[in-house]
Amino acid sequence: MNYIKNILPKANSYPLLAKATRNGSKSFSTFYPVKSNSFNQQNLLPKTSKPVKHMLTLEDYTPAEIFALVEKAHLFKRVSKATDLTEKEKLFKQNVASKMPLKGKTMALMFSKRSTRTRISTESSVAYLGGHAMFLGSQDIQLGVNESLLDSSKVISSMVDGIMARVNRHEDVLELSKYSKVPVINVLSDTNHPTEIIADILTMFEIFGKSGQTVEQAVKGLNVCWIGDSNNILYELIGAFPKCGINMKVSTPAKYPIPQPRLEKAKQEGLVDVVGSPSEAISGSDIIITDTWISMGQESEKKQKLIDFVGYQITRELIEKSKPSEKWIFMHCLPIKPEEVDDEVFYSNRSVVFQEAENRKWTILSAIHSLLVEN
């Protein structure tokens, strides 16, 4: 027994064993207590010739940068699907096709959550640019389970050219980006979803834009309402829409408010009005948006939420009595559950959910091109 005791690692032998948070696992520090000042984290930050540009939330992007991403997404969609291309569009298409800018490069898809639209969008976008997408699911790698996020970030970013991260906690994607030497794109965390909101703006531009207008000109002044839960989509919307000149009204059940610091920050950027009922939010709105009430990992909350959200299902009757604008449309990032919106609205000619879903590809393509090619 003494022999076994002597070969076990001492508590201070491993100064860099960080938290493992997946699936309720204990942190490494539970087994190997360490002092927080036992190493200098500055020495572990990536050493690059210029700062690495990431996409973690649109709160980090200026309105001009957001509009540029949407313009490029629209350009990619045009050159891929339209037949009436301008000379400038033809040249852009030829350049991408001939240069294959991601040829020989690999994008790691580090997904801790299931995905349909995001995975297809990312893999097809990387292939479009000539690269290889490497899917790394939660069962494939040691992310946050038997290896710290810090270690994973340094190892994986040394072998690939970009990382798409779909994680549980936003702190995880922040940790990955902090130590990564390649761009990290957040394709969903518990508080943010930037690529979804870029797709929403592209969809709004396609629906409401007039010939010759820029994205900014087309969407500025539009009135958007949110009906439903206080979640990552809503947080990303209020972090981006107000500063882009898009007005927002929000209705969530009283038990599910927007965190006050987020709301105050959004109000400093533009118009965000929290109202008391779905009907008040819908009144005068051009775009009606909702999302699932029960996100992945929250299934245990379903019974209570169905009680708390009574009156929040979007129906044709609710919309008609609430008097939105004459040109109103309905948006939802999918997948749909019947408690959020009825089929009469979801499958109506006012619903643009499938156009919105397709636009995920073009906006992810835009983000990848901007961060891995242009940057």
Look at residues 177, 181, 208 and name the one whose alpha carbon lies nearest to residue 194: 177
Residue 246 buriedness (CB in 10 A; 0-12 / 13-18 / 19+): buried
3-state DSSP helix/strand/coil % of the chain, to nearest 5: 45, 15, 40
Q: How far is residue 68's CA from residue 73's CA, in Å, rounded to a whole number?
A: 9
Q: Which long-range contacts (CB under 8 A, 24 or more apart) does 8-14 make?
A: 12/38
Q: Angle 304-118-220 (CA atoms, 0-180°, nearest 5)? A: 85
How far is 6 from 166, CA to CA, in rounded Å? 41
Tell me which residues are annotated as active site. 333
Instruction: Kindly state the tokens that stand for 347.
Output: 């499958």
**In which residue are the tokens 């009922």 written?**
277
Look-up: residue for tokens 């990955």? 176
Q: Are 129 and 369 in contact (CB under 8 A)?
A: yes
CB 253 within 8 A of CB 274: no
Q: Which residue has the tokens 């118009």?
A: 271
326: tokens are 């004459």
**Among candidates 76, 57, 58, which has minimal Cα distance to 67?**
58
